[in-house]
Chain A
Amino acid sequence: MEEFVARYGFLFVAVVQQALLGLSLYFPLMAGQLSLASIGFYALGGYVAAVMGTHPALAPLRDALGFMIYPVQWLAALALSVALGVALGYPALRLRGIYLALATIAFVQVVGVAALNMPVTGGAVGIFGIPQPFESRLAYIWFFGPLLLLTLALIHRLERSGAGRLFFSIREDELAARAMGVDVTFRKVQAFVTGCALAGVTGAMSAPFLNTWNVRQGTFDAAVACLAYVLIGGSRSKWGALLGAALLVSLPEILRPLKDSRMILNGVVLVLACVYMPRGIAGLLSGRDK
């Protein structure tokens, strides 16, 4: 048991962490918007935490705050994500479907290029030696776990409240929603910014979890991986992101004993999942036609 925990503790927390990223895509998807910007905000949040955790100029602040520096990092990441999310959301959400996806992926690239060129982010090497709040990897569940519960509770509440229903109305038919008097742009931005904020905070929690932070955390590949969590898991249910992340993150690790053939089997499982579960795992489990 002890061995199991030691080996899979990191993985368990990584699943929760990636599920949070998946959920950050689920928020805009609730309003029918396919945005890939999450990973950019994730990278941004990570840089906020990494810089606050390592920059020599902030040493007095760290000494004064002690453990409380971590919540402060989350708040800083949250504030920055919300501000940038609003600034990006209003122009970008005029675009629809694939064009919105393109615009948001462009944002991810911009964050990457900025990180490469700013001295404070350490260029391509990134930032390392980030202080650790916990000894064990598994203990990071005290960061990600409550955030996940909070997010699920928020979505649960949203789905039953007016705001959530407005999101769904836009998802089902934007024109009809507009005709009914829904402030479509505002609602879209609201859903989008919530997702950005979640991604930013997840990033801020992830920087100490990974020990190091660099440009490779926020690449196009990572954005696609996030999207895959939602699509494989099911894009119409909050459990989709969770199930998708659990499957996609843990599969290569669980298959580790198979050595070289594990990536092949991993691919086979993904292809089968796409072919036989068009509505994702969550769709398969719910069994309803919707």
Chain B
Amino acid sequence: MTRVLPLLALLLALAVNALAEPVASPIPIGVAVATTSNVALFGEEQVNGAKIAEAVLNAKGGVNGTPFKILYQDTAGDEAGAINAFQSLITAKVVGIVGPTLTQQAFAADPIADRAKVPVIGPSNTAKGIAQIGPYVGRVSAPMTDVAPNSLKYVLSVDPKIKKVAVMFAQNDAFCTSETGIFQEAIKNLGLETVTIQKFQTTDTDFTTQVTAVLGAGADMVVISGLAADGGNLVKQLRQLGYQGPIVGGNGFNSTNMLPVCGPLCEGILVAQAYSAQADNAVNKLFVEKYQEAYKKMPPQFAAQAYAAVQVVVEALAKVEKDSGKKITAMELAEVRELLNKNLQNATFLTPMGEIALDADGEVHQKTFFVSQIKMNPDGKTGAYVIVNK
């Protein structure tokens, strides 16, 4: 160990002088999402979306004629995994990184990229504070503060008599606890009364206590932040025990995995969405067509946002070329990373989610949000999310 420490110090000193290096061709773009662990379901959808983006955008000529290539790295579901994946991509000389899957992973890994001056675009990090991690961090996933309240507003527009609201959320899930905070604030801002707040765990299967409390409080509307399995079971028990009013779900309900869980009782749940496969714009139509061709199903939100993240990076690279008059592959890597980051900010993009704009902070501003209602098919296991706010 006594010989190792001076050696380490020497290595540290060496690591500081980064040499000027050119950008490889095809232009490498990193995608670091979870393809193993318990969040792999989301990560796989993101990889699918990124693959479609690679095929579609390269077919259109890539970055002004230069093709790009996506390097995938698995972050797994934990913080250390995300840091390792980012580190691998940075040393693989990518111009920018799309990822990671979870907000908590972003808090761990994004500062690493920020310090290395590599632009990061979060495809699915929706909590507060992501874009504020540093100047090189941005996202295409609209924060929950923008998305979640839309469904409440829709319910009120249909039924203005609603006054009493019950809030339920999965206490052990980071996403659900932040989301419920936003719902609760929105409920207050809309002048409604929160009659009860019930907590549950994502691992729970029996919700009798919580449902009884909601029924006892006489709520006119129930707002739930949960994930597919627990949320599905909770809805089922709410309906079985006699709750008749509207149910508003958070983003966790935005997954067809929930439908088999509550079956026919899923009917009528309202969900606010940042993306809908039915969105009416040319970019989305092409994306849906290619996605269905490749995977034989409608693209979920995670895939659309990953597509958008890759698209945003590619379009910003094209703008770097246009502004500087030089080919990306003729420029130095550090310079490209810096210019790419500049062009990612204060820019507008037409993506499958419609028009989005990234501000000087890297924070996304999305023009349209969707409120969808679940319509179950007669088989009681499958269904569709139908846009209701258009």
Contact = CB atoms under 8 A, between A and B. Distances in A.
Interface of A: 1-3, 5-7, 9-11, 14, 116-117, 123-126, 128-129, 132, 135-139, 141, 145, 149, 210-212, 214-217, 252-253, 256, 259-260, 262-263
B12 A139 contact: yes
A211 B103 CA distance: 13
A80 to B, nearest CB: 23
A215 B80 contact: no
A215 B172 contact: yes
A210 B110 CA distance: 11
A55 B67 CA distance: 47
A138 B11 contact: yes
Q: Please classify the interface of chain A as helix (H, G, I), strand (E, B), loop, or mixed, using the class held by over half of its residues.
A: helix
A145 B5 contact: yes
B171 to A, nearest CB: 6
A125 B178 contact: yes
B268 interface: no
Given A129-B133, A149-B1, A212-B107, A5 B14 contact: yes
* Best-surrounded residue of B78, B79, B176 (most CB of chain A within 10 A): B79
Given A5-B12, A5-B15, A129-B107, 6 more contacts: A3-B91, A5-B11, A6-B91, A124-B174, A137-B112, A138-B12
A132 B83 CA distance: 15
A3 to B, nearest CB: 5
B172 to A, nearest CB: 6
Contacts of B171: 116-117, 123-124
Interface residues of B, number: 42
Contact of A256 (B79, B80, B88, B177): B88
A210 B80 contact: yes
A124 B172 CA distance: 6
Given A5-B11, A5-B15, A125-B178, A214 B104 contact: yes
27 contacts: A1-B11, A1-B14, A2-B18, A3-B91, A6-B90, A7-B91, A10-B87, A116-B171, A124-B171, A125-B174, A125-B177, A126-B107, A126-B174, A128-B104, A129-B133, A138-B8, A138-B15, A210-B83, A210-B108, A212-B104, A212-B107, A212-B108, A216-B104, A252-B76, A256-B84, A259-B72, A263-B36
B91 A124 contact: no
A128 B128 CA distance: 11
A209 to B, nearest CB: 9
Contact of B15 (A6, A253, A256): A6
Contacts of B104: 125-126, 128, 212, 214, 216
Contacts of B88: 7, 256
B73 interface: yes
Contacts of A1: 11, 14
